[in-house]
Every structure is written in structure tokens, then in C-alpha cells.
A and B are shown apart, each in its own frame.
Chain A
């Protein structure tokens, strides 16, 4: 049974058809990559999955229950975390506070209690901080917990965004070009991190341009071109698919 199943997903912006009857599945415990040339509709798929847009047609099933039409926050709480292509952190909050935001749903607390300093609220605030630190440690940022997120380096900001998504304790993690702008050695590190997350039981759905990374970590690769799915399969199969080479890779040699 797939964790995520997309059936005939269609989306258009004005007259432009961004996605045309795309169907795909993401199996539980796997790493699946979504690739394709610029403008193929990859980020649109992610935006539909996380509820930024409502699809014009088709169905999205997550754990066999429909996802489309639900609010973003509810989708996040159902266990889908995501990162963004161009990092979107809460710039004036510290790293630790960024992660705390995602913990809101899981750690209940009383607003009045915390304003009037009731004893129960102190423990709630402590729980928030402890849990946030734990999550930061997963991405190696525990020593930058008190830094304002805007002051972090690019690579640290990417990792912080990942930590913020992980704090939701997601079953499915959507990573939108996680290696964008990263030097090679950091990409290698990122691949290790992604594999590690998969081994902890988090299913990973990845939009990625870096072919070394895609071929290195993916259990399955799905190729989009002009809003249409043109290939799906293991990295080796996709790599040698003539349609993919023609549409996406051009003359470039894999």
C-alpha cells in the first residue's frame, strides 16, 4: 500500500496547464525523486500536496484518505512536512524558536496560564525548548539555537528549515531542491542525512536538480515534462529512457 497516491492530478494557472492528469505513488519508507526541466510542474505538485493550492482535478490520497481541499495546517498536522525551494524561515525568530513554531500542535499549553505565569506554563515552555533543542541536534544546529535565523549561513538555514519540518514528526517529508546552492561536500552530507531520515521511517519525496544526488539516493525517480509524467522507475531505468533523455536531459550525458 503506498503512503501517498496521486490520481489524475490536474492544475492550471489562467490558460496555462501546469499539470495534466499526473498519477504517481510514493511507497512507505522509500525515497522518491521528482525531476524535470524548469517549469515542468514539480513545485506545483508539492504545493498541491501541502495545500498551498487546491487542484483543478484529480485526487490525492494520503494513508488512503483524501488530502485535496484540506487546509495547509491540517495537512501539516496529518504528517506532511515540507521545505521550500527558496528558504522560508521566520527571519526574526531564533533557530530554536523557528522549530518551536512547528511544535505548537503537539505540545498543548494554556495561553492564559502562560501570560499569568502559572506553574504549569513554565513546564510547558520548558518542554517547548527542550524538544526544539533535540530537533536542532538532529541537523547539527544545537549550538546555534539562540542565533536569529536570518544571521545563519545559507547551509545552516537549509538545515534549520529541515529541522522545522522534522519537528512536525512527519510521516512524509517533501524536500524542494534541498541541495540548491550547496557546495559538493555539503550535498554529500545532505544525502547521508536524507538516507538517515528514511532509515528512521520517514518517507521522503524530493524535487531535485542535482543528478548525482537523485541517482545516488532515490529508490524511484519520476520525470515530469510540461506538466505530464513521461517516466517513472528505478534510477537506472529512467537514466536510459530515450524519452527522458530527449525531453529533459538533452544532449547532456548522465
Chain B
């Protein structure tokens, strides 16, 4: 059985991918439990958020704690387009992605001058400002009351009522998100992201417009969150400012860190793990968030590089602050 290891490994890999795809597609047909599917849809939303954040934080090495703000911008944009202009989910979703992307671009402009903790501080401040706008621009957002009655998506005369169509929609979006992110790693742009994470000075000396690629990473990351937000708004049919807090941003950042910075599979896995664990531990009621925190501490103690950190996109060590 030593005939061509590369092909046989390739075949095993392909078989695994097909099995995964069939499993995910067949899930709602096998499991007809609305609560379970609801958790799966939530996992899908967080996969989109985490895989998106992984582009800026994992690939390009810029820690951002503003992903929930872009999530919220996408959600509010989509909700308002539907409620005020009567746009369908399918039309509002790409617009919301771009809308969040524009804000990602704008946050990128000051963010390129900062690194490490200072960057985290600025992104937190950005998130807080966005949250305050949701809360206080009452004529538009209805402030703390939130926006109810967001119409669910519709295909022809088929209206999304139970979790199954939502499940397939978010599965498709998350799959597209993962695919695009993986393609980025295969292209020149993906290599540029790693280069500027590895050694920014050397990248600039190699003729790279470092700032342009940093801003691109921020924009892409925000587009993911904007699309996730649009889906979220039409899934919940109600949104309010509290959902898009800095706490939520830190949760998404935790997913990326816990999965292994830069690892797409890691982001997907830990988005699933961190969404499912709190649900699975409902039986211990009040103590569950305590256990949840404990599990995160344990993972970080025993896998400080994250769950899946073998890929070369993951942050192996601090780039040396070498002598200039």
C-alpha cells in the first residue's frame, strides 16, 4: 500500500471533505430538533465572524476588538434597508457587507499607525462609539428599544419560518467565507499579509505598500461581519444595541486566539466549541459561565498556541523588534 502516498492522501482528504459536506447538508433532514438547529445556525454566524476576524488578526497580525461593531453595522444597515425601503434580505445582505466594509476601511486608516495594545485600545474605542450611536440615534435606530419586525428572508413565495432554510443559508455563507479566506492564503495577497506580520520593515524595503494591505485586511474582515450581521438581523427579526457590545467583540477575538491565530480551521472549530459549550452546560445553570471561563483557561494553559496551530499562517513567535 505504498503506491503513491501523495495521491492516496489526496484521496483521503477529498473523501473527508465530501463526508463533511454530505454530513452538514443532511443534518437538518436527520435531526428534526429546532433547538439543535438553532444552535447550529448560531455556530454558522460565529464561524463567519471568526473567520473574518482571522484575516485581520490571524493573517495580518493586527489584533482587533471591533468585530461586533461591524456585525452591528451590518445588522442595522440590513434591518433599516428592509424596514424603511422594503429591500429583501437578498438585496440588503451584500449592501450591508459593503457598508460594514466601508467602516472597516475607515477604522483601518488610523489603525495602520498602531500596533499591539494600542491598536486593541483604538478598536475597543471604535466599538464603543458605534454602540453609543446605536443607542442614541433614536430617530433612526429607536435606541434601546431596538428594531422589531425585520422581515424574514423569502425565496419566491417561500418564507423562512423554521430553522431549516436559515441553516442552509448560513451554511452556504459560511462555506463561501471559508473558501474565500482559504483562497486568500493561496494568493500573493495572503503571502503579503504574512510578510507584513513577519517583518513590516523588510516588507516595506521590498517595495510593499504595507498600509494598503493592512487596510485591505480590515476591510475584508469587516465585510464578513457585515454579512453575518445582515443574516443575524433577518434571522432574529429583532435587533437591539446590547447584542453588539465590546464583550461580544472580545468573545469573537477569543475564538480566533483559541483556534490558533491564522488558522482557518481553528477559527471554525473554536467558533463551534465556544458556541456549543455554554449551551451544553445549561444543566449546571448559574455555574455554566464559570465553567466556560475555566475551559478557556485550560485550553490556553495546555495549548497556548491555540487548538489548531500547526499551519504556517499561525503566529509562531513574536516578530523580533530587531535593531533598525
Contacts and interface: CB of A to CB of B under 8 A. Distances in A.
A92 B312 contact: yes
Nearest to B315: A92
A130 to B, nearest CB: 14
Given A73-B210, A93-B191, A82 B184 contact: no
Interface residues of A, number: 42
Interface stretch (B14-22, B24-32, B138-146, B199-207): B199-207
Contact of A88 (B184, B188, B201, B216): B201
A73 B201 CA distance: 10
Contacts of B207: 73, 76-77, 102, 104-105, 168
Contacts of B323: 85-86
B195 interface: yes
B202 A89 contact: yes
Contacts of A128: 188
Contacts of A164: 206
A88 B323 CA distance: 10
Contacts of A148: 312
Nearest to B319: A91
A21 B117 CA distance: 39
A148 B198 CA distance: 13
B206 A102 contact: yes
Interface of A: 47, 50-52, 71-73, 76-77, 81-82, 84-86, 88-93, 97-98, 100-102, 104-105, 109, 111, 114-117, 121, 124-125, 128, 148, 164-165, 167-168
Interface in B181-211: 183-184, 186-189, 191-192, 194-195, 198-199, 201-210
B284 interface: no
A88 B199 contact: yes
B191 A100 contact: yes
A88 B202 contact: yes
A73 B195 contact: no
B204 A73 contact: yes
Given A86-B323, A115-B180, A76 B188 contact: no
B68 to A, nearest CB: 25
B205 A115 contact: no
9 contacts: A72-B201, A77-B207, A89-B199, A93-B198, A101-B203, A101-B208, A111-B187, A115-B184, A148-B312
Given A73-B209, A104-B208, A115-B180, A90 B188 contact: no
Interface centre among B184, B205, B208, B209 (most CB of A within 10 A): B205
Contacts of B85: none
Contact of A114 (B188, B209, B313, B324): B188
Contacts of A105: 207
Contact of A90 (B183, B189, B203): B203
B189 A52 contact: no
A72 B191 contact: no
Interface centre among A51, A90, A97, A116 (most CB of B within 10 A): A90
B208 A90 contact: no
Contacts of B216: 111
A101 B201 CA distance: 13
Contacts of A50: 205
A124 B186 CA distance: 12
B322 interface: yes
B316 interface: yes
Nearest to A115: B183
A52 B324 contact: yes
Given A115-B184, A115-B187, A76 B195 contact: no
Nearest to B203: A101
B118 to A, nearest CB: 21
A188 to B, nearest CB: 27
Contact of A86 (B187, B198, B322): B322
A72 B183 contact: no
Interface string B205-249: 111111000001000000000000000000000000000000000
Interface centre among A72, A81, A84 (most CB of B within 10 A): A72
A90 B209 contact: no
Interface centre among A71, A92, A104 (most CB of B within 10 A): A92
Given A88-B322, A104-B192, A111-B187, A168 B206 contact: yes
A80 to B, nearest CB: 9
B198 A91 contact: yes
B198 A104 contact: no
A113 to B, nearest CB: 9
